Amino acid sequence: MKIDKLFDVKGKVALVTGGSRGIGEMIAAAFLSNGVKVYISARKADPCDQKAIELSEKFGSECISIPADVGSMEGILKLTEEIKAREDKLDFLINNAGAAWGEKIDDFSETGWDKVMDLNVKGMFFTTQKLLPLLRKAGTLELPSKVINIGSIDGINTPAFENYVYSASKAAVHQLTRHLASKLVRENILVNAIAPGPFPSRMLGSAVAHDFSPLEERSPVKRIGTMEDIGGLAIYLCSRAGNFTIGETITCDGGLTACSGHNLSV
């Protein structure tokens, strides 16, 4: 029951998709701070490579860049084959890569719909599928491997913005999490989801013109999320402390969902 054992993740190997910025970077940083070897992927190669160098130097742990677009099967295969060539097992898979698309309902495009669904749902499923051999090798009854799917409170509440496909895709992520969990728990692979509220990111910033103060004011805790908030939850789920939490979608939103009756969704 000692904290240094209960939440220990040192020596593990993780992949964080969309790990070069935003929530993915925060989770990668939390892992690296605690001795995890972390692979990060992102669609743009140069920022991903630079971020891996920056995080390695900052936290004194190994962060490796594998640029890939997990919105396509070609990109998924490139990423997963590269991981398999470097590692014989994978302890943690964080399916964080995602996209949003906002348009008025009368103008909402098929292009936007397909892009978001392909990345947020299809990409998540097939990345997990292709990495199952490594997750199976890592997982034991006492120390299961872990998959965390990043959903959103927009897949729970009714969003304020016209991001129809984003909210639909994140609701799908939450249900996919439960379905995967029910199957993979028998193979010592535990699957859960996190549904974040507002965290500083380029995606959220573009929706609010990078002015987070209105979101902070509407939040019950009067702030948006930090690395400690999302990173701490990821460490909990991936450590021994999280071994009896399976198939859950855990909100990490400063109380926005609990107060959704006050129309505080973002």
148-169: per-residue pLDDT in tens? 999 999 999 999 889 999 999 9
Average pLDDT over residues 20-41: 98
Average pLDDT over residues 33-61: 97
Q: Is 209 left (phi over 0), alpha (psi -120 to 50) or beta?
A: left
Mean pLDDT of the chain: 94
pLDDT of residue 41: 98
Average pLDDT over residues 260-264: 51
Q: pLDDT > 70: what percent of the chain? A: 94
**Has residue 179 got a pLDDT over 70?**
yes
Q: What does the alpha-carbon distance between residue 199 and residue 226 come to, in Å, rounded to a whole number?
A: 7
pLDDT of residue 55: 98
**Has residue 189 got a pLDDT over 70?**
yes
Average pLDDT over residues 66-79: 98
pLDDT of residue 201: 73
pLDDT of residue 263: 46
Class of domain 3-255: alpha beta
pLDDT of residue 211: 76
**Has residue 206 got a pLDDT over 80?**
no
Q: What are the CB-based long-range contacts (under 8 Å, 24+) for 75-80?
A: 75/43, 75/123, 76/123, 76/126, 76/127, 76/130, 77/130, 79/17, 79/41, 79/127, 80/127, 80/130, 80/131
Q: How many other β-carbons are positioned within 10 Å of the β-carbon of residue 133?
A: 14
**Has residue 255 got a pLDDT over 60?**
yes
Confidence of residue 192 (pLDDT cuts 50, 70, 90): very high
236 is catalytic: no
Average pLDDT over residues 127-147: 98
**Has residue 261 got a pLDDT over 70?**
no
**Has residue 188 got a pLDDT over 90?**
yes
Q: What pTM, to 2 d.p., does this model score?
A: 0.94
For the chain, the structural domain boundaries read 3-255
Q: What does the alpha-carbon distance between residue 59 and residue 77 come to, in Å, rounded to a whole number?
A: 29
H/E stretch holding 14 reads strand 13-17
pLDDT of residue 212: 77
